[in-house]
């Protein structure tokens, strides 16, 4: 392996987001809040979809998988970022860096396929409502999710192989807050032209391969919506797709720009990475809950069941305490 040519390199140095201790403290509080909200929001989506039988449909099956991927994606980068914001020495081992490169690709890669599957689901529901139950069967939905994981894993393995075969000399400072393959290229003292071409081809193939089905699905959806005569019918039909369109725009917009533009280590690189690795996983559950009447109704039903069960538990516990108090007293008076 190429690592034998530079076995003396055991770790990389991450420049992070700032060198000012006060700014780092503010950033720590800010991103800690983002991460906690991300975890709570996506766990809430998983819990609600699992608990409410009315959401046991293909669309919400994909949405639950999307929430799980957002939870994983955020956990790949943000905890390490939080640790570095509190540390004077921001380093990561070579193996840790390669592991992060792998998961930075597999999680958004799977998410891209899931967004594509969700677009096809909306196309089937709006354009072919009578055949929807047959087209989007349980077996077909499970196959789509498994294919999403498999193709994303294959792409991530290719990317990791590119990183493993890079030759690093003395440069060890990564101009980024996390390990991403484009940020490793400037550290290599070997020819990276082939690796850059493979990364671009992989990004285009993966990105366009998942974005084009979304584009064509929504082209047919828009055509169907325009054929609806009533204005209320149009707005109601489009409202079922607006949340997904916002999520697609946020995810693909920042991700494709980050991996197709040359890496400069600028603030724009950092902002784009933060957009799709920290901000988008936070916004997705908000988008799908605030703009979706079914999810909001399911949240109210789930909270209502929880509060009702809590009240019953409290009444039972109170009754037990009262009995425990009065029974010994009665026995003593005898």
H or E element, residue 94: helix 94-127
**Chain-centroid distance, C-alpha 225:** 29
- Report domain extents, the chain: 11-304
- Res 148: pLDDT: 92
User: How many other CB atoms are found less than 10 A from the CB of residue 277?
Assistant: 24
Transcribe 293-317 into DSSP letters. Answer: HHHHHHHHHHHHHHHHHHHHHHHHH
pLDDT confidence of residue 177: 85
User: Which DSSP category does 40 fall into?
Assistant: H
As a whole number of angstroms, the distance between CA 334 and CA 331 comes to: 5
What is the rounded distance in angstroms from the CA atom of residue 254 to the CA atom of residue 149? 21
The CB density around residue 232, as the number of other CB atoms within 10 Å, is 8
Residue 7 pLDDT: 46
Angle at the Cα of 75 from the Cα atoms of 74 and 79, rounded to 5 degrees: 110
Six-digit token pair at 113?
A: 């396929």
Return the DSSP state at 142.
H
Q: Which residue has the tokens 């899931």?
A: 114
Of residues 185, 168, 188, 178, the one with CA closest to residue 90: 178
How far is Cα 270 from Cα 274, in angstroms, rounded to an integer?
A: 6
**So what's the pLDDT on residue 141?**
93
pLDDT of residue 108: 86
Cα 292–Cα 118–Cα 122 angle in degrees, nearest 5: 70
Give the pLDDT confidence score for residue 273 in this predicted structure: 80
CATH entry 3.20.10.10 includes domain 11-304: no
pTM comes to 0.80
Cα maximum dimension of the chain: 95
Structure tokens at 33: 């809040």
Along the 334 residues of the chain, how does pLDDT read in single tens digits? 444 444 467 788 888 888 888 998 999 999 999 999 999 989 988 988 888 888 888 988 999 999 999 999 899 989 999 999 888 888 888 888 888 988 988 998 898 899 899 989 988 988 888 888 888 999 999 999 999 999 999 988 888 888 887 777 766 888 888 888 888 888 877 778 888 888 888 888 888 888 888 889 888 888 888 887 777 667 766 666 777 777 787 777 777 676 666 666 667 777 878 887 888 888 888 887 766 777 777 777 777 776 655 545 554 554 544 444 444 433 343 3
Nearest 10 degrees: Cα torsion 68, 178, 249, 211: -80
Closest CA to 84 of 7, 159, 12, 160: 12
Q: What is 154-190 written as a DSSP string?
A: HHHHHHHHHHHT--B-S--EESSSS--HHHHGGGB-S
Q: Residue written as tokens 């609806």?
A: 228
């Amino acid at each position: 392996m190429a690592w034998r040519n530079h076995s003396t390199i055991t770790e990389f140095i991450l420049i992070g987001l700032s060198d000012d201790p006060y700014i780092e403290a503010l950033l720590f509080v800010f991103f800690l809040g983002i991460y906690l909200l991300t975890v709570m929001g996506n766990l809430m989506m998983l819990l609600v979809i699992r608990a409410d039988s009315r959401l046991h449909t293909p669309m919400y099956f994909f949405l639950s998988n999307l929430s799980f991927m957002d939870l994983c994606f955020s956990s790949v980068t943000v905890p390490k970022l939080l640790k570095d914001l509190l540390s004077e020495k921001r380093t990561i081992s070579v193996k840790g860096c390669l592991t992060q490169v792998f998961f930075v690709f597999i999680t958004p890669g799977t998410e891209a396929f899931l967004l594509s599957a969700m677009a096809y689901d909306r196309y089937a529901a709006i354009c072919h409502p009578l055949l929807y139950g047959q087209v989007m069967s349980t077996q077909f939905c499970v196959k789509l999710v498994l294919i999403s994981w498999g193709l994303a894993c294959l792409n991530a393995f290719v990317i990791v192989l590119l990183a493993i075969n890079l030759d690093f000399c003395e440069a060890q400072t990564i101009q980024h807050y996390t390990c991403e393959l484009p940020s490793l290229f400037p550290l290599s003292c070997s020819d990276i032209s082939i690796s850059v071409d493979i990364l671009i081809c992989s990004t285009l193939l993966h990105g366009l391969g998942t974005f084009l089905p979304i584009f064509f699905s929504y082209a047919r959806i828009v055509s169907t919506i325009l054929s609806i005569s009533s204005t209320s019918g149009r707005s109601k039909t489009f409202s079922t797709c607006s949340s997904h369109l916002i999520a697609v725009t946020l995810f693909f917009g920042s991700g494709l720009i980050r991996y197709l533009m040359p890496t400069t280590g600028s603030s724009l690189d950092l902002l784009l990475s933060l957009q799709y690795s920290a901000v988008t996983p936070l916004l997705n559950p908000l988008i799908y809950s605030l703009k979706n009447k079914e999810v909001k109704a399911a949240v109210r039903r789930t909270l209502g069941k929880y509060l009702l069960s809590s009240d019953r538990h409290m009444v039972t516990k109170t009754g037990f305490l009262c009995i425990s108090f009065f029974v010994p007293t009665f026995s003593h008076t005898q």
